[in-house]
Amino acid sequence: MTQTASATETSLSNPGFETGDLSGWTTTGTAFTGAVTDDPGWGWGCCFNQQGSYHLWGFGAGGDAATGTVTSEPFTLTGTGMVSVLVSGGRNDNDLYAALTTLDGTVLHKATGTDNESYRRVTWDAREHLGKQLRITLVDKATGGWGHINLDDVRVGTDPAPAVTTLSNPGFETGDLKGWTTTGTAFNAAVTDKTGWGWGCCFNHAGTRHLWGYAGGSDAATGTVTSEPFTLTGTGMVSVLVSGGRNDNDLYAALTTLDGTVLHKATGTDNESYRRVTWDAREHLGKQLRITLVDKATGGWGHINLDDVRVGTDPAPNPTVKGLAAHWDFTEGQGTTTREKISQAADPISYVFTDAQYKPNSDPLWRPKNEADGVLSGALLFDGYSTWVTRAADQTQLSTDGLTLEAWVAPRAFEWGDDGKPSVVVNQQDKAAKRGFSLGVGRHGRWQFGIGTGDAWYEVTVPKPAALAAGKWAHLSAVFAPNEGAIRLFLNGEQVAQTAVPTTARLAKADVPLIIGRHNQPAIINGTFAVNMFNGLIDEVKVHNGALTPASVTAGHQKDVQSFAGGTTPKAQMEMDRSRYDGDRYRPGYHFTAPNHWMNEPHAPIQYKGKYHLFYQFNSHGPYWHNIAWGHTVSEDLVHWRDLPVALAPTEDSVAPDGVWSGDAAYDENGAPVLLFTAGNDAQRPNQATGLARPVDPADTDLVEWKMHPTLVTSQTADLNVGAGRKVRFGDFRDPFVWQEGDTWFQLMGSGVQSTDGKDIGGTALLYTSKNLTDWTYSGPLMVGDVAAHPKTGQVWELPTFLPIGKDAQGRERRALLINPAFPAGPGEYSSKYVYYWVGTWDAANRRWTPDTTEPKLMDYGDHFTGPSGTVDDKGRSLVFSIAQDRRTERAHYDAGWAHNAGLPIELSMRPDGDLGFRPVEEVSRLHTGAPLLDITTPTSLADANNRLAGVKGDMLHIKLTMERGSAGTFGLDVLRSPGDEERTRLFYDAPAGQLGVDRTRSGNNSSAEPGFGIHKGPLTLTDNTLTLDVFLDRSMVEAYANNHKSITTRAYPFRQDSLGLRLFGDGSTVKSMTVWKMGNMTD
């Protein structure tokens, strides 16, 4: 980012406390000693919105009780004669204030706080004291609540002096509408001094009062309010603070002529916080004009707000920056707006967590500043689905006979390119109308520029060698030069593409907002998510009026590079930060989650050189299913995980240009790991096959980089032999599972079988063998399901997982086959809910699997355990990983910013009766923090146990419980229980029915896609009438393992904050033992 030193005329050596201390200031008392801080928030809230890094927080030194003063060194007032400060804190005109004083302490101007920690700028007109020596003094004589005052960013002689204007009440500081005329009722009694709107904060208005449209008649009222006439003088710029609803036609502030002709207008952004809109009205200098606020809207967000009209005082665009129409350098580092440098207007940044639904509010993803990064010091990280910058359509004045766009970008990943549209860097386009312009990035990093002339749309895309690389900075320049008959594209200062345009071509402006990071007309996924959005870092966006010459483009790039330490482009710092979700009441803490956004099934687990590697289906662009890559994480103990970069992504000219779907991992003949994945290629049928990838550096125990094998290793053919009178379900061929026995590798592929006339018979796992992992021979179906007899097992089997669980009395290997049913022919009600299994004997030599029964068995009764994958580790354990679907609405996914999580890893075993047993891995105990919250080790009555449980609360717990039935009919444990039992999730055993279950009728379904939670249960036979439950609570996640045989995986979304209790039930039963531990985080 460009870092321009302030042209200040003052000898103040430390005006913003950026030394980190009080250098240049003198204190009395204790109120300000040690009060300089770089804290962005005050612990119980956020944000100060200070300038730079440091500021003076009066509370930070001695709370509200301390008193004292802090006084600047003297300075000579020069320049414009204006002095301004950022001030916040308590409101007390007599005992808490910032003051401009003479050297003898005479107060010339002063300002107190507003009982709010967020800074506001106060400006004093001190032109009558030009040439005199003055000081700034901060006074704290207050000791009660809000007994502190804060200060930052003293500006001396640099702020513009006010020009003459006849507006008598530009900021409504009279407390009424003096000088304004209304129609209708929308603005009657709407002048207020409120700092927040009741359901949120803060307006961030100027001064004390402002015009809040909602206060006049809420959203239903309509009307206008119009200023008295004024003569435009001074700089010819007019600016206003505006906020409220977004509706270009029915809600807007406008600059008009006396007859009502609209010259410029701006609407709100569906946000109450003010942003400054600046209009260049220099062509109307000397004319009489008005400001009008219009409200014709009556629905939600049907109001508009106004404050601080400035006439002729804001600086005009800098004529020394030749042809530069707009420039965003993203230097702020905090806040929800970014200042465009030419107009000095603050443009709003849309971001999901500035108005968070499930966690505390937080700022957009600003990158920290680093002087070594030169012009790229600090930047804005666009999260791929909720971050963009908006500027009103008429805010930027563009020439029509030439245009240049520039931007530094570092894409994190590349979108699919829905509707053939790019992920936009910057645009103001209506392509259907052939108007406006667009600079964006297409699939596989192929970036492009388009421009509309009203009668045509001209577009050029760079060739493959000029495609962007994910994770690296690049400097893009696009030049529209109609006088030369060309559009030219430049990458890092070098021309990489060109196309011809008529010399008569002229830009036709589009009457839509200019947007950075989001397409003007994006495709919509799942009715909620706009795609064609940029995912990554953007900085130094420039719009030039005119076509820069190739030499100018190159020189500009070289100038930027010279600002970098050592002349080397800095690393793009955009690792996904898990702390973004801090405070989310539903996001699991110790179950594995993707660092950001959307994940589906974990897969391809493998242990390598002492580390467990796990991959997963991942969309880095947002919390929705799309744009899938292979996420990657690593652990040394199966419960603490460390994020690694994406391992595989769709790649141009590879075996997987259109998708990298689930797969598995194995060891090659040298013991090095390989990945086998479902390779997506929409140019062939079927579009699913098996690809292979190897690590670039097998010595790297993190296995960060992978390279795809150049050819597919397994492909489906329509003539596969799946039995007489049958055919394979051609086109369904995915999710390889691979293992080695002796010198042979075996591969299962999920698919389906139909009769020759196309009737679905059932899912299948197709078996292949190989001697080298790249050349495979088809052996036939391992097993075929019966969807007619067992509809919930699906027409297709996905994610077949085939693991050893022991040997029988004859020494034959026993294995369990786990499958995830899929329903391409419907019904959708069964989708993503179940994992079925069969247990039997496996004869590798004859490639024969003999299940004990064809009857499928359900592993988990909770409707949320899906997507199995597995491996055998160096302890000989058969481990299974799963995905726990969260079943939330798409809107909830958008608002939360994440979707789904993994289940705990489980270990398979063979029970004495030959059936499958399973339990969580023993390593889960490493997540325990501190001593047990409760530890019952001897038989105890229900009443006594509940008395001891009364003080145990939490939503990140491990509960080990053994109960003896006694005379109870139904017994068990309530978790996530509110004190009055209004909400609870009930884990129960119904003894007469012999069933284990969960009752979620009172669980709370805040944000769930399921309108009503019900009861889920299944068969479980007790031994000695004893039930042992291993229960894991992890915010919205509930897992319960019963007698190492069956499990319940489910979700709860309580509405109440106090739904944190535990309670046992089942009169007549006895608690044999119960231990409760608090659990730590997976990243601790």
* Residue type (1 letter), 533: M
User: In the chain, how many domains are there?
Assistant: 5
In the structure encoding, which two tokens stand for residue 581, read together? 């979700």
Which of the listed residues 920, 942, 960 is the one where a domain comes to its end?
920
Q: What is the 3-state secondary structure (H, E, C) of 977-1042?
A: ECCCCCCCEEEEEECCCCEEEEECCCCCECCECCCCCCEEEEECCCECCEEEEEEEEECCEEEEEE
Q: What is the pLDDT of residue 323?
A: 81
pLDDT tens for 975-1003 read 999 999 999 999 999 999 999 999 999 99
Look up the CATH number of the domain holding residue 865. 2.115.10.20
- DSSP code string of 721-736: --STTEEE-TT--EEE
| 591 within a domain of the structure (yes/no) | no
In the structure encoding, which two tokens stand for residue 867, read together? 């997507």
Q: What is the pLDDT of residue 772?
A: 97
Q: What is the pLDDT of residue 317?
A: 65
Stated pTM of the model: 0.76
Residues 892, 940 within the same domain: no
Q: Quick count: other Cβ atoms within 10 Å of Cβ 644?
A: 17
Looking at the chain, the whole-number percentage of residues with pLDDT higher than 70 is 98
| 9 within a domain of the structure (yes/no) | no
Report residue 905's pLDDT band, with 50, 70 and 90 as the boundaries.
Answer: very high
Average pLDDT for residues 629-647, to the nearest whole number? 98
Report residue 248's pLDDT band, with 50, 70 and 90 as the boundaries.
Answer: confident
| 586 within a domain of the structure (yes/no) | no
Contact 1080, 974 (CB under 8 A): no
pLDDT tens for 482-528 read 999 999 999 999 999 999 999 999 999 999 999 999 999 999 999 99
Residues 983, 947 within the same domain: yes
Residues 97, 191 within the same domain: no
The dihedral through the CA atoms of 575, 577, 578, 580 has a sign that is: negative
Helices (H), 29-158: 59-62
Residues 94, 209 within the same domain: no
Instruction: Please state whether the peptide bond connecting residue 46 to the residue before it is cis, i.e. omega within 30 degrees of 0.
Output: no
For 43, 118, 199, 338, the CA distances from 46, given in Å and listed in that order, are: 7, 8, 16, 18
How far is the C-alpha of 792 from the C-alpha of 786, rounded, in Å?
10
CB-count burial class (<10 Å; 0-12, 13-18, 19+) for 710: exposed
How far is the C-alpha of 933 from the C-alpha of 968, rounded, in Å?
27
How far is the C-alpha of 618 from the C-alpha of 627, rounded, in Å?
8
Indicate whether 1073 pLDDT > 80: yes
Indicate whether 133 pLDDT > 90: yes
In the structure encoding, which two tokens stand for residue 186, read together? 């929308």
Look up the CATH number of the domain holding residue 130. 2.60.120.260
Contact 1031, 959 (CB under 8 A): yes
Report residue 9's pLDDT band, with 50, 70 and 90 as the boundaries.
Answer: very low
Residues 831, 967 within the same domain: no
| 948 within a domain of the structure (yes/no) | yes
Residues 1010, 1036 within the same domain: yes
Q: Give 1061's strand partners.
A: 953, 977
How far is the C-alpha of 823 from the C-alpha of 677, rounded, in Å?
21
- DSSP code string of 156-220: ES-SPPPPP---S-TT-TTSS-TTEEEEESTTTT-EE--SB-SSSB----SSS-EE-HHHHHTTT
How far is the C-alpha of 308 from the C-alpha of 210, rounded, in Å?
8
How far is the C-alpha of 491 from the C-alpha of 468, rounded, in Å?
9
How far is the C-alpha of 645 from the C-alpha of 633, rounded, in Å?
8
* Residue type (1 letter), 780: G
| 226 within a domain of the structure (yes/no) | yes
How far is the C-alpha of 759 from the C-alpha of 754, rounded, in Å?
5
In the structure encoding, which two tokens stand for residue 433, read together? 């109308």
For 29, 30, 58, 72, 313, the CA distances from 33, given in Å and listed in that order, are: 8, 5, 9, 14, 38
Chain centroid to CA 163: how far?
A: 44
How far is the C-alpha of 552 from the C-alpha of 544, rounded, in Å?
12
Q: What is the 3-state secondary structure (H, E, C) of 80-101?
A: CCEEEEEEEECCECCCEEEEEE
Residues 553, 682 within the same domain: no
Residue 501: domain span: 383-567
Indicate whether 6 pLDDT > 50: no
- Report the relative pairing of strands 898-899 and 597-608 from DSSP bridges: parallel
How far is the C-alpha of 125 from the C-alpha of 82, rounded, in Å?
5
Within 8 A by CB and 6+ apart from 671, the residues are none
Q: What is the pLDDT of residue 344?
A: 82
Which of the listed residues 899, 920, 941 is the one where a domain comes to its end?
920
How far is the C-alpha of 627 from the C-alpha of 954, rounded, in Å?
36
pLDDT tens for 737-760 read 999 999 999 999 999 999 999 999
Q: What's the Rg (C-alpha) of the chain?
A: 33
How far is the C-alpha of 1001 from the C-alpha of 780, rounded, in Å?
46
| 824 within a domain of the structure (yes/no) | yes
Q: What is the pLDDT of residue 652?
A: 95
Q: What is the pLDDT of residue 164?
A: 47
* Residue type (1 letter), 770: S
Report residue 4's pLDDT band, with 50, 70 and 90 as the boundaries.
Answer: very low
Looking at residue 944, the DSSP 8-state letter turns out to be H
How far is the C-alpha of 621 from the C-alpha of 644, rounded, in Å?
17
Residues 725, 704 within the same domain: yes
Indicate whether 606 pLDDT > 60: yes
Contact 450, 421 (CB under 8 A): no
Rounded to 5 degrees, φ, ψ at 957 are -135, 155
Q: What is the pLDDT of residue 354?
A: 95
| 41 within a domain of the structure (yes/no) | yes
SS3 call for 1065: strand
How far is the C-alpha of 884 from the C-alpha of 813, rounded, in Å?
30
pLDDT tens for 41-80 read 887 777 888 998 899 999 988 889 999 999 999 999 988 8
Contact 324, 342 (CB under 8 A): yes
Look up the CATH number of the domain holding residue 438. 2.60.120.200
CB-count burial class (<10 Å; 0-12, 13-18, 19+) for 589: buried
In the structure encoding, which two tokens stand for residue 406, read together? 């520039």
| 5 within a domain of the structure (yes/no) | no
- C-alpha dihedral (373, 378, 379, 381), degrees to nearest 10: 110
Indicate whether 2 pLDDT > 60: no
Within 8 A by CB and 6+ apart from 479, the residues are 403, 404, 486, 487, 488, 489, 490, 547, 548, 553
Residues 825, 742 within the same domain: yes
Which of the listed residues 857, 887, 920 is the one where a domain comes to its end?
920
Q: What is the pLDDT of residue 1018?
A: 97
Residues 743, 607 within the same domain: yes
Report residue 5's pLDDT band, with 50, 70 and 90 as the boundaries.
Answer: very low
Q: What is the 3-state secondary structure (H, E, C) of 984-998?
A: CEEEEEECCCCEEEE
Residues 136, 39 within the same domain: yes
Q: What is the pLDDT of residue 1?
A: 33
SS3 call for 1069: coil
pLDDT tens for 365-391 read 999 999 999 999 999 999 999 999 999
Residues 403, 485 within the same domain: yes
Look up the CATH number of the domain holding residue 985. 2.60.120.560
